[in-house]
Amino acid sequence: MNSNPSPSNSSRFEGCTLTGALSVVTQVRDAVCVIHGPSGCAHHNFSLLHATLADSDGVGVPRLISTALTENHIIFGGEEVLEACIARALELSPPPASIFVLSTCVVETIGDDVGAVCAREWGVPVIPVQTAGFLGGVFQTGIVNALLAAASCADGAPGDAGGVNLVGEKNLEADVDENQAEVARLLGMLGLQVRLRFVRDVRTRDLARLAGAAVNVLREPALLPVGEALRQRFGTPYVDSFPVGLSGTLRFLEEVAGVCGVDGSAAVEHEAAIQEGVLARFADLAGSRVAFDRVHPMLDGDAAAIGVCSELAEALDLVVDPEGTRLPAPYPAPVGTAGIRRMLHRWRRLIRGRERAR
Amino acid sequence: MLAADHRDCTNPLWPCAMTGAVACLAGLEDLAVVVHGSSGCYFYPASLIGREIHGTFLLEREVIFGTEPRLREVIEELRGRYGTIAVVNTCVPAIMGEDLQSMLDDHDVLVVDSPGFIGDFERGYRRALARTEPAVDPSFCGVNIDGVTLADPFHHGNALEARRLLGLTGASVGTTFCLDRYAAVHRAALFTVGTNPDLASGVGEWCGSLLGLDTVIETFETLASVCTGVDARPVFREVARAEQRIEKACSKYLRRFDPPRTAIFSEFAYAAFAAETLERYLDVEIACIGSRNEVRDSGFPAEQVTDFTRIRDMLLAAEPDLILGSSYERTVLPGAAFVGLTPPVRGRVLLRSRPLAGVEGTLWLMDEVLNACMDRRRRGSRAADGDR
């Protein structure tokens, strides 16, 4: 984001429900997403998803079909167009294993009954996702609604049991796979494996594995409604966030160990030693004057991220001073010890740059 | 209602009219651009054009009770920071049917009704430009540059190259549509040259395009004949030198290799320029042209297409050695040589200004094409070595 909107009312800047939802359901690789609205809405989102895939060396392009509503449909209604579009999606090669139908604010305004069209017998799951641009909530609402919609593909009969589901990874963030690797590393220290990335790079049939996990690890506390819904439906307990901060990472190990009934003390001790090593590598920063900035004027500070900054400032003996080197508070907070290490490299670059400029 | 000619669109690849309007207006300094709609409608053009724009960021309650108070709130905040404010309407407020211009009668605001559902990027661009009411100053015997849009990765390079060439000939540079001060729109010069005829302004007397070496010569011949004081000879000499260098490089390539079978995907004017240039200097076979916008007569196999599924089919059928297009096309055949001609060009760092127009533009195109083709052959050789 490189713009400066106005006036200042941050509650308005939380993004489009449709984009949030697409960031989830486009990760079901054998699905097709039908976007019921003008083609511009689909283009905006396809462009964003394409950019993200290109930057993360992702493979494959999500299949989005726009109903491409025009002025006529807006006047006379678009349900017939939606029906034809779903039928065409089913004719694509390879045929989709599922279809997610997402609406837009235009459709919400004209009042099409998307749910009724999806409820017809189509031969594969045709799942409406509650999205209506800004009329349906914000970006995060779209993520929550999409996760709940995707969960409807899980049948509750797990086959096998155990393992850990990662719920609601931020698929648009550049380091999503590095964060997953860090969580998998920590879980591995407890003898646990990732069972399902819900939802990242999966097929429709994989979603059935949502049931039967030992624990669901939510990406962030904003996904509590999802964690709670899955707990009620499948009886799976949840941990409400990926590990954040030095002490938070150790607490994460303890919490997961407790939920899964394993002894986590050795893992905690080992991780604490790793953290000491990381801090030693950045000991040269001691005494540096720093100030923490919001990452963007449009974004409120992330409390977890600010907590990480304060913790690291203390651990590294940094001096927080409004005149110090401006360090952007991370958004979102770095995940685990590895996330902190990568962030400290960025901090050191900025601090040294400021020193050189003097 | 399902019209017989209505087609849905798989993975649409081209921006909507609202984005075109914003890209046009945001190129004009001293003009605040306000996207009147949701945050979703704001974020896409904001990320695409890289200039400061503003938004009303409508919420549901404003759709129910009316958007006027919110629009006024934003305009009041911007007042004083800019000479003029332009409001670009989006789909939902357009459907609501509010008369924005009447609402804002007491403000000096330019309302551009360009919701996404009216059509494509070019349509919105033209509608916004017309709404600024450009005017020619009959006493200004200079040359305007048009076809420039912030959404084009070549926009800055094209503007610089056009100004450079005009400077070589002693011509006075008029208004750059749209990369200039807002006031310049209302005192444009008498004559105009274009860097992208798909976005021609219609302002001033059209003297021709700057896409392609032959076209540059024709355009400057015209300028020299109508515009007092223009000496086109420095440009002709530069074109001759450039042509020599291109012919030498292409001859060397063709001594070793066959011409690449080529597929081009871009706005039509850029595609036609690239096809003519490659056919002329490298004797390439143009397998297909997929134009993002309306197709004109060109003698090449061309169709208008923004549906990614159709583009994939075209590429798989054409089996090109070389693709000129966006990174969307690159994903279909990652083994083909690729030159980024069309936004988005992802996965590559693009910091400096690159022209596609003018003498430097043709040189850039040939650089990229020859290097991409040779790199592809080297990759192929390395892969074969690895197999052995």
Which CATH number fits the domain that encloses residue B82?
Answer: 3.40.50.1980
> How confident is the model at residue A10, as a pLDDT?
45
Instruction: Specify whether B261 is located in the same domain as B227.
Output: no
- Report how many Cβ contacts below 8 Å link chain A to chain B: 187
Q: Please tell me the distance in Å from A309's CA to the nearest CA on chain B.
A: 28
The secondary structure of chain B, three-state, reads CCCCCCCCEECCCCCEHHHHHHHHHCCEECEEEEEECCHHHHHHHHHHHCCCCEECCCCHHHHHHCCHHHHHHHHHHHECCECEEEEEECHHHHHHCCCHHHHCCCCCEEEECCCHHHCEHHHHHHHHHHHCCCCECCCCCCEEEECCCCCCCCHHHHHHHHHHHHHHCCCCEEEECCCEEHHHHHCECCEEEECCHHHCCCCCEEEEECCCHHHHHHHHHHHHHHCCCCCCHHHHHHHHHHHHHHHHHHHHHHHHCCCCEEEEEECHHHHHHHHHHHHHHHCCEEEEEEECCCCCCCCCCEEECCCHHHHHHHHHHHCCCEEEECHHHHHHCCCCEEEECCCCCCCCCCCCCCCCCHHHHHHHHHHHHHHHHHHHHHHHHHHHHHHC
Query: Which pLDDT belongs to residue A4?
Result: 46
Q: What is the pLDDT of residue A1?
A: 35
Q: Which pLDDT value is given to residue A218? A: 98
Shortest CB distance from A15 goes to which of B6, B43, B95?
A: B43
Q: Which of B8, B40, B54 sits opposite A18 (nearest CB)?
A: B40
What is the tens place of the pLDDT at every residue in A2-16? 344 555 554 466 778
Instruction: Write down the pLDDT at residue A70.
Output: 84
Domain identity same for B375 and B269: yes
pLDDT > 90 in chain A, percent: 66
> Best residue in A8, A12, A139, A172 to probe B by mutation, most B CBs within 10 Å?
A12
User: Across the interface, do A40 and B18 touch by the CB < 8 Å criterion?
Assistant: yes
Per-residue pLDDT, averaged over A100-105, amounts to 93
Q: Which residue has the higher pLDDT, A148 or A48?
A: A148
**Final residue of a domain: which of B131, B165, B194?**
B131
Partner-chain residue, chosen from B15, B117, B308, that has the shortest CB–CB distance to A61:
B308
Q: What is the torsional sign of CA B174, B176, B182, B187?
A: positive
The residue in chain B having the minimum alpha-carbon distance to the alpha carbon of residue A62 is B11
The answer to whether position B137 is within a domain reads no
Residue B306 banded pLDDT, cuts 50, 70, 90? very high
Interchain contact, B57 vs A50, CB within 8 Å: no
- Measured between CB atoms, does A10 come within 8 Å of chain B? no
Q: Which chain A residue's Cα is nearest to B334?
A: A59
Per-residue H/E/C for chain A: CCCCCCCCCHHHCCCCHHHHHHHHHCCECCEEEEEECCHHHHHHHHHHHHHHHHHCCCCCCCCEEECCCCHHHHHHCCHHHHHHHHHHHHCCCCCCCEEEEEECHHHHHHCCCHHHHHCCCCCCCEEEEEEECECCCCHHHHHHHHHHHHHCCCCCCCCCCCCEEEECCCCCCCCHHHHHHHHHHHHHHCCCCEEEEECCCECHHHHHHHCCCCEEEECCHHHHHHHHHHHHHHCCCEECCCCECHHHHHHHHHHHHHHHCCCCHHHHHHHHHHHHHHHHHCHHHCCCEEEEECCCCCCCCCHHHHHHHHHHHHHCCCEECCCCEEEECCCCCCEHHHHHHHHHHHHHHHHHHHHHHC
The verdict on B262 and B378 lying in the same domain is: yes
Same fold, A11-151 and A157-242: yes
Model confidence at A297, pLDDT cuts 50, 70, 90, reads: low
Q: List CB contacts (< 8 A) between B73 and chain A.
A: 7
The residues, any chain, with a CB within 8 Å of residue A326's CB and separated by 6 or more, are: A290, A291, A293, A350
Mean pLDDT, range B344-373, rounded to an integer? 94
Average pLDDT rounded to a whole number, residues A326-351: 92
Average pLDDT over all residues of chain A: 89
Chain B neighbours among A 122-141 (CB < 8 Å)?
A: 133-135, 138
Average pLDDT of span B284-291: 96
Question: What CATH number has the domain bearing residue B151?
Answer: 3.40.50
Chain B contacts in chain A segment 185-204 (CB below 8 A): none
Residues B21 and B86 in one domain: yes
User: Quick one: B225 and B267 in the same domain?
Assistant: no
* Mean pLDDT across A340-356: 90
CB distance A257 to A286 below 8 Å: no
Residue B381 has pLDDT above 80, yes or no: no
Based on the fold, state whether residues B310 and B330 are members of the same structural domain: yes
- Position B251 pLDDT exceeds 70: yes
Of A9, A54, A74, the CB nearest to B327: A54
- Indicate the residue among B237, B265, B284 that finishes a domain: B237
Q: Are residues B366 and B302 in the same domain?
A: yes
pLDDT surpasses 60 at A330: yes
Most confident range (mean pLDDT) of A18-22, A52-56, A263-267, B53-57 is A263-267
Closest Cα in chain B, distance from residue A44 (Å):
6
> In whole numbers, what is the pLDDT of chain B averaged over residues?
92
Domain count, chain B: 3
Closest in A1, A7, A39 to B74, CB measured: A7
Of residues B356, B367, B280, B290, the one with CA closest to residue B323: B290
Q: Are residues B348 and B271 both part of a single domain?
A: yes
By the CB < 8 Å criterion, does B347 face chain A? yes
Same domain? B161 vs B231: yes
Claim to verify: residue B276 and residue B311 sit in the same structural domain:
yes
Query: What pTM, to 2 d.p., does this model score?
Result: 0.81
Residue B266 to residue B289: CA distance in whole angstroms: 8
Residue B244 included in any domain: no
A92/B346 touch (CB, cutoff 8 Å), yes or no: no
Contact with chain A for residue B384, Cβ under 8 A: no
pLDDT, position B276: 97
Instruction: Please answer yes or no on whether A46 and B308 come within 8 Å at the CB atom.
Output: yes
Name the least confident of B151-155, B222-226, B342-346.
B342-346
Please indicate, yes or no, if residue B248 is contained in any of the structural domains.
Answer: no
Enumerate the residues of chain A whose CB falls inside 8 A of the CB of residue B79.
Answer: none
**Does B73 fall in a domain?**
yes
B213 located within any domain: yes
Sorted by where each begins, the domain ranges of chain A are: 11-151, 157-242, 243-358
pLDDT band at B209 (very low <50, low <70, confident <90, very high): very high
From chain B, pick out residues whose CB is under 8 angstroms from the CB of A16: 38-41, 43
Has residue B93 been placed in a domain? yes
Domain of residue B273 covers 253-387
**Whether B163 and B288 share a structural domain:** no
Selected for mutation to probe chain B from A101, A134, A172 (highest B CB count within 10 Å) is A134
Does position A133 have pLDDT exceeding 70, yes or no?
no
pLDDT band with cut points at 50, 70 and 90 for residue A57: low
Residue B330 lies in a domain: yes
CATH class of A11-151: alpha beta
**Residues of B with Cβ-Cβ distance to A296 under 8 angstroms:** none
Q: Please tell me which of the candidates B2, B47, B63 has its beta carbon nearest to residue A1.
A: B47
Chain A, residues 57-116, CB within 8 A of chain B, namely: 61-74, 76-77, 80-81, 84-85, 88, 92, 105-106, 109-110
B82 at the A interface (CB within 8 A)? no
Q: Which of B131, B160, B182 is the last residue of a domain?
A: B131
The arithmetic mean of pLDDT across residues B139-144, rounded, is 95
The pLDDT of B294-319, averaged and rounded, is: 94
Give A232: exposed, middle or buried? Use CB within 10 Å, 0-12, 13-18, 19+. exposed
Q: Where is pLDDT greater, at B81 or B29?
A: B29
A130 pLDDT band, cuts 50/70/90, is confident
Nearest CB among A6, A19, A135 relative to B60 is that of: A135
**Fold exhibited by the domain A157-242:** Rossmann fold (3.40.50)
Q: Does one domain contain both B174 and B291?
A: no
Query: Any CB–CB contact under 8 A between A54 and chain B?
Result: yes
Highest mean pLDDT out of A49-53, A76-80, B308-312? B308-312
Q: Of residues B363 and A54, which shows the higher confidence score?
A: B363
